[in-house]
Structure 1
């Protein structure tokens, strides 16, 4: 399975085709899904192009994606730094509607951030499933010590230079996976920046789900700037082969 991460926390202007508006996110989803992505992960933006957890903006982004690319599962971020404090973040997420009322299908929760378990509980009570973001072995240990491995939709093992320990992305990922041990949920492994493509190749060869998009990298395996998210998904599909393609039926 390929997840397309369409924009992340990148600033407006970072890339000429970085999707920011609901309409742009919808078009990027359609082209990425056509290229081979089974689902998308997005960071909704406000009218200035800045990340937001405001429920109206989240619903607008998700709604536009579903209208343009029905059947593609939509994940959104809850990362620290968008809202002022963890309490403000929780209050905003508590106002999100469930998927049947226009909210996202799932949301990522970074387990190294304060209040992760409470935020995850809030999402689940709204019918929004959780993707657990694990960036370090310490976060993995913290995650495994709870009951959450049996409640999440997916575990995101994320190798982020400067945050995840290790001189290479594979080294960082293997340490996180060792700390996680055997898990009941699907595991998606990905790297960021210079670790993106080496980790993607390793993850697919090891049988894990993968992700790619302008959130993680702006360049193709050749080092050339990618035209857009769809070009990155197509490159990933060619690198690994044999992945599911859109349209897929949404889970019932």
Structure 2
């Protein structure tokens, strides 16, 4: 990787999620055109990757490959290859693990997020999960594993030691906080994932629920991690004011990183990291 991009912070934007609607925020992007405009705005503010959810005709959560391809094509028209495009495989109670895997393979995206608790809910599912990751590696799809609790990180680390994970460098996303207002994230929530006896993953990122999102991302970055921001998890600026757009949340995170002397990664630099992880 070029020296000028090595060590930079990956800022991902998650602009919509699978639950929120226009009633939550009128600027929530749902259509292909809205997502393309959001992608361009967030790219300008410093994002290097966008995390995508698509909806069905009734506005419900969907993993439909055709819907994904339509959105991906529209975003590429708007920003070219200047953002890494990551789809979700999230179930939201609508898809079985087999259906999630099939949707990812049929979509054939550049990158995908995979919740360990959904794709391998039981220990007996771990072998199939590893085989699925092997298929992703063959197809050159970059996976990011989502973990919600340190216990899940320990389980994932054990799978690595057992040789079930076909990636030497495995990207993970630590989820800080929950949807419930009582679980608004705070920066120290990342510490249990980084305890001395915990497994180490590279690269690792955080996403955080609530107005301390930028603070959580900055704390993670200072500890060697990366961050995801956006309307999926948070609608509020660090000041407590309601964000007008996803781009405002990206800008807030980038400003916070700049204050502590950290630069953001580009899509080009991130793709160099992805190539190393997948193997070329």
Tell me by how many angstroms 1:246 deviates. 5.6
* Counterpart in the other structure of 2:110: 105
Deviation track 1:84-103 (CA, whole Å, cap 9, x = no partner) reads 32232233233223xxxxxx
Unaligned runs of 5+ in 2: 1-9, 121-128, 276-280
Describe the SS at the equivalent of 1:112: helix
Query: RMSD between aligned alpha carbons?
Result: 2.6
* Counterpart in the other structure of 1:8: 17
Describe the SS at the equivalent of 1:80: coil
Describe the SS at the equivalent of 2:228: strand
Count of residues in Structure 1 that have an aligned counterpart in Structure 2: 243
State the distance in 2 between where 1:18 and 1:70 align. Answer: 22
Deviation track 1:104-162 (CA, whole Å, cap 9, x = no partner) reads 21000111224354543443343211011121111101111123383555221221337
Deviation track 1:171-222 (CA, whole Å, cap 9, x = no partner) reads 4321122364333x21112212255233123112223211211112101001
Match for residue 96 of structure 1 among 101, 107, 114: 107
TM, length-normalised to structure 1: 0.85
* Counterpart in the other structure of 1:100: none
TM, length-normalised to structure 2: 0.77
* Counterpart in the other structure of 1:142: 155
Alignment of structure 1 residues 130-209 onto 2, 5 Å:
130-147=143-160, 148=165, 150-151=167-168, 154-161=171-178, 169-178=186-195, 180-183=198-201, 185-209=202-226
Q: Which has the larger radius of gyration?
A: 2
Match for residue 50 of structure 2 among 40, 43, 66: 40
